[in-house]
Amino acid sequence: MNEEQHSLLLSSSSHYLPPQGVKLSYGTAGFRADASLLHSTVYRVGILAALRSLKTQSMIGMMTTASHNKISDNGVKIADPSGGMLSQQWEPFADALANAPSPQDLVQLINEFVKKENIPFSGARPAEVLLGRDTRPSGDALLKAAKDGVTSVIAAVAIDMGILTTPQLHWMVRARNKGMKASEHDYFGQLSSSFRCLMDLIPGDKSTFGGINDKLVVDGANGVGGVKLKVLEKLLNGLIIEVRNSGEDGGILNEGVGADYVQKEKVVPHGFGSKDVGTRCASLDGDADRLVYFCVSSESSSKIDLVDGDKILSLFALFIREQLRILNEQEDMKNSYQARLGVVQTAYANGASTNYLRQLGLEVNLTPTGVKYLHEKAAEFDIGIYFEANGHGTILFSESFIGWLEATTDKLSSGSKGSEVEKAALRLLAVSKLINQAVGDALSGLLLVEVILQHMGWTLDRWNELYQDLPSRQLKVKVADRTAVVTANAETVVVSPPGLQEAINAEIAKYLQGRSFVRPSGTEDVVRVYAEASTQEGADSLAYSVSKLVERFLG
């Protein structure tokens, strides 16, 4: 780092002093806190984004959002060149950067890191960072901090993409680094054209829901997703969408609305009620990277029948498995590309969903909790599908399989035009373009759900009947030191303290279809307890018993 760069960093960082007594940690969601505490952090993440761009010689993304958190919060996260999350190897640097106590400490830390990582400041492609933010009122001020951070690195360029969903920014970063057009217009264009392609490939006798199910009503969480869905809906044919809680009618972001609220509380969001009985409904979260479906149970109740991320995963897996079956059963295709399909879940996936997927003959893999682990594992397959119950997930296609699909459709189009094999290959290609392969995307996921339901000729009730969720219960146990709990096998087995797992096993054995695991929280000194059983009473009792065991072994 030369003297000019040293002075620029020292000068600019003096305007963004960190708040006293606040320690932040970069996790799956990046940094999140009350927005008033984040100006220094966002500025410093801007520096990190510029350095990451220099290191990778690629476009980097920087998103200001707190997703499903309350409106007074905000946050910031990085999108790596692939459009995925920040490399885990850089997370400790992010933590140190955010918590450096003074400008002098900050510049020293940066200088040491630049030397260690051999980051080129001269003779390299200038750093480029795409900036996005959601609709939170604190976003404008934090945007300035982000720009100041990026441009405190000499020749670095901050490109403001405006108000976006988080998945849109990730998509743009991935597209830019693949040499593709990557404006918001291009994003909408790719989604709408892929959707139309899939709609055109629906069998002729299954092209409509009929009656009351013609319309989809979407809860936009009073966030950015509702606004963008209204734009996207105008480009679609064959799908009627009504958006409520779009944020344009004075509703408060994530307050009594949104996918996180609906999935956890299992009640109707604000603006929904008895008038919606029998209607297909969906809910986005605040930055539109989560999606769940639901229907209102009855006119006299606020309860819902929830269709969560596990069932979205199951629907996608069924559809893709069917297209692969069509490809593999044709005589002239049997010795060609044998695509490996894999499904990835965490231990929090309902046991009934895991059993269902395995009964279908699918390869099911478990990873530790966190999107970064799910995404990494899914990338090992030709087609990897991952979802969390909260509605965050996507489908990844390997470059080699996409290349084979493209070559296959080109070959078939010159011969057996309109054959089932060609249609199956075209459907898979269209899915790879419709689904956001960078990150979970509620808008692209919603369109894929809708076209598959039409393809199957299924109502929401028919989809929800794939399997019956086992009753479950989650609890938190406050402990002095959560690191005393060490787990293995994708967090399903406790290896420390000794004897705790054996005690948990003894409790599980008392319940029909019992299952339970514990894991230390990643953010607070609590141990999280999850339990399932054949009845809600059994799940509650098992969770309580295991919580008492945690207290006894860590007391």
By the 8 A CB rule, do 95 and 24 touch? Answer: yes
By the 8 A CB rule, do 49 and 131 touch? Answer: no
Let me know whether 418 and 519 are in one domain: no
Q: What is the pLDDT of residue 76?
A: 98
Residues 38-65, mean pLDDT to the nearest whole number: 98
Let me know whether 202 and 80 are in one domain: no
CATH number of the domain at 476, please. 3.30.310.50
Among 274, 306, 338, identify where a domain stops.
Answer: 306
Let me know whether 390 and 493 are in one domain: no
Let me know whether 10 and 153 are in one domain: yes
Residue 259 has pLDDT above 50, yes or no: yes
> Within a domain: residue 170?
no
Q: What is the pLDDT of residue 249?
A: 80
Q: List, as one string, the DSSP characters of 447-488.
A: HHHHHHHHHHT--HHHHHTT--PPPEEEEEEE-S-GGG-EEE
Residues 36-59, mean pLDDT to the nearest whole number: 97
By the 8 A CB rule, do 197 and 223 touch? Answer: no
Q: What is the pLDDT of residue 334?
A: 55
Among 306, 335, 351, identify where a domain stops.
Answer: 306
CB atoms within 10 A of CB 2: 10
Let me know whether 457 and 521 are in one domain: no
pLDDT tens digits along 341-379: 999 999 999 999 999 999 999 999 999 998 999 999 999
Let me know whether 315 and 300 are in one domain: no
By the 8 A CB rule, do 60 and 131 touch? Answer: no
CA distance 285 to 305: 18
CATH number of the domain at 458, please. 3.40.120
Closest CA to 549 of 464, 472, 479: 479
% of the chain exceeding 70 in pLDDT: 96
Q: What is the pLDDT of residue 213?
A: 55
Let me know whether 13 and 83 are in one domain: yes
Residue 212 has pLDDT above 50, yes or no: no
Let me know whether 30 and 117 are in one domain: yes
Q: Residue 228 sits in which domain range?
A: 193-306
pLDDT tens digits along 440-470: 999 999 999 999 999 999 999 999 999 999 9
> Within a domain: residue 177?
no
Q: Known catalytic residue: 67? A: yes
By the 8 A CB rule, do 547 and 529 touch? Answer: yes
pTM of the predicted model over 0.75: yes
CA distance 543 to 477: 11
Residue with tokens 């958190």: 69
Residue 228 has pLDDT above 80, yes or no: yes
**Mean pLDDT over each residue of the chain, to the nearest integer:** 93
Q: What is the pLDDT of residue 206?
A: 55
Residue 90 has pLDDT above 80, yes or no: yes
pLDDT tens digits along 128-175: 999 999 999 999 999 999 999 999 999 999 999 999 999 999 999 999
Residues 97-106, mean pLDDT to the nearest whole number: 97
Reported as a pLDDT band with limits 50, 70 and 90, residue 332 is low
pLDDT tens digits along 370-404: 899 999 999 999 999 999 999 999 999 999 999 99
- Buried residues in 196-219 as b, exposed as e (16+ CB within 10 A): bbbbeebeeeeeebeeebeebbbb
Residue 51 has pLDDT above 60, yes or no: yes
Q: What is the pLDDT of residue 56?
A: 96
Let me know whether 456 and 488 are in one domain: no
Sheet containing 383-387: order of strands = 363-367, 341-346, 383-387, 393-397
Reported as a pLDDT band with limits 50, 70 and 90, residue 123 is confident
Let me know whether 366 and 275 are in one domain: no
By the 8 A CB rule, do 454 and 206 touch? Answer: yes
> Within a domain: residue 83?
yes
Residue 210 has pLDDT above 60, yes or no: no
Q: List, as one string, the DSSP characters of 148-188.
A: HHHHTSTT-EEEEEEE--HHHHHHHHHHHHTT---SHHHHH
Q: What is the pLDDT of residue 431?
A: 98
Q: What is the pLDDT of residue 524?
A: 78
Q: What is the pLDDT of residue 205?
A: 61
> Within a domain: residue 8?
yes
> Within a domain: residue 326?
yes
Let me know whether 202 and 332 are in one domain: no
Among 306, 322, 346, identify where a domain stops.
Answer: 306
Q: What is the pLDDT of residue 415?
A: 54
> Within a domain: residue 175?
no
Determine which of 96-105, 224-233, 489-498, 515-524 has the lowest per-residue pLDDT on average. Answer: 515-524
Question: Which one of the listed residues 12, 40, 67, 82 is annotated catalytic?
Answer: 67
Q: What is the pLDDT of residue 237?
A: 85
Reported as a pLDDT band with limits 50, 70 and 90, residue 209 is very low
CA distance 470 to 449: 23
By three-state DSSP, how is residue 132 classified? strand
> Within a domain: residue 171?
no
Q: If 0-12 CB within 10 Å is exposed, 13-18 middle and 19+ buried, where does residue 249 land?
A: exposed
By the 8 A CB rule, do 324 and 341 touch? Answer: yes
Total structural domains within the chain: 4
CATH number of the domain at 201, please. 3.40.120.10
> Within a domain: residue 282?
yes
Let me know whether 135 and 238 are in one domain: no
